[in-house]
Amino acid sequence: MIGTRCGIHISKQGKIHCKGRIIINDSVMLQTQKQGQIHIGKQFYTNRYTRIIAHERIEIGHNVTLGQMVSILDHDHRYTFEGDDLQLDGYVTSSIKIGNNVWIADKVTILKGVTIGDNVVVGANSLVHKDVPANSVVGGVPFRVLKEL
């Protein structure tokens, strides 16, 4: 099921693969760039205004729920300064893997190169900048483990 005002863009060599029933709410962006791939497992649900953008690879396991305004980005802009001028020049990429049975609450940002283990809850407004251990509840900016399950 795909809601209204969604932006789904698959680049010429990109791929979005869904293994089962998924629900994509209104105003969600799924996008691949160049050879980027997004792999989504069974029982996936994402709420409004979420964006998932893959330049390399984003893998999402089974039974994963995303809150509103979640950003999952497997890239950063490459930049330099020439004198006082900021110059953007391409991207630095690294794959993301999200395990099974994961709930990612509202306004979470997941950065490149991260692996989130199975059975994880990520609290609202968190910044996930490094790997998250399985069987845990995490939260904060940057996140820290709040509880082991």
Q: Return per-residue pLDDT of the chain as tens, 149 residues.
A: 899 999 999 999 999 999 988 999 999 999 999 999 999 999 999 999 999 999 999 999 999 999 999 999 999 999 999 999 999 999 999 999 999 999 999 999 999 999 999 999 999 999 999 999 999 999 999 999 999 99
pTM above 0.75, yes or no: yes
Q: Which residues are catalytic?
A: 77
Reduced to 3 states (helix: H, G, I; strand: E, B; else coil), residue 133 is coil
Q: How far apart are CA 130 and CA 140, in angstroms?
A: 13
Going along the chain from its start, the domains and CATH numbers come out as 7-79+88-139 (2.160.10.10)
Peptide bond into 142 cis (omega under 30): yes
Q: How far apart are CA 110 and CA 120, in angstroms?
A: 14
45: left (phi over 0), alpha (psi -120 to 50) or beta: beta
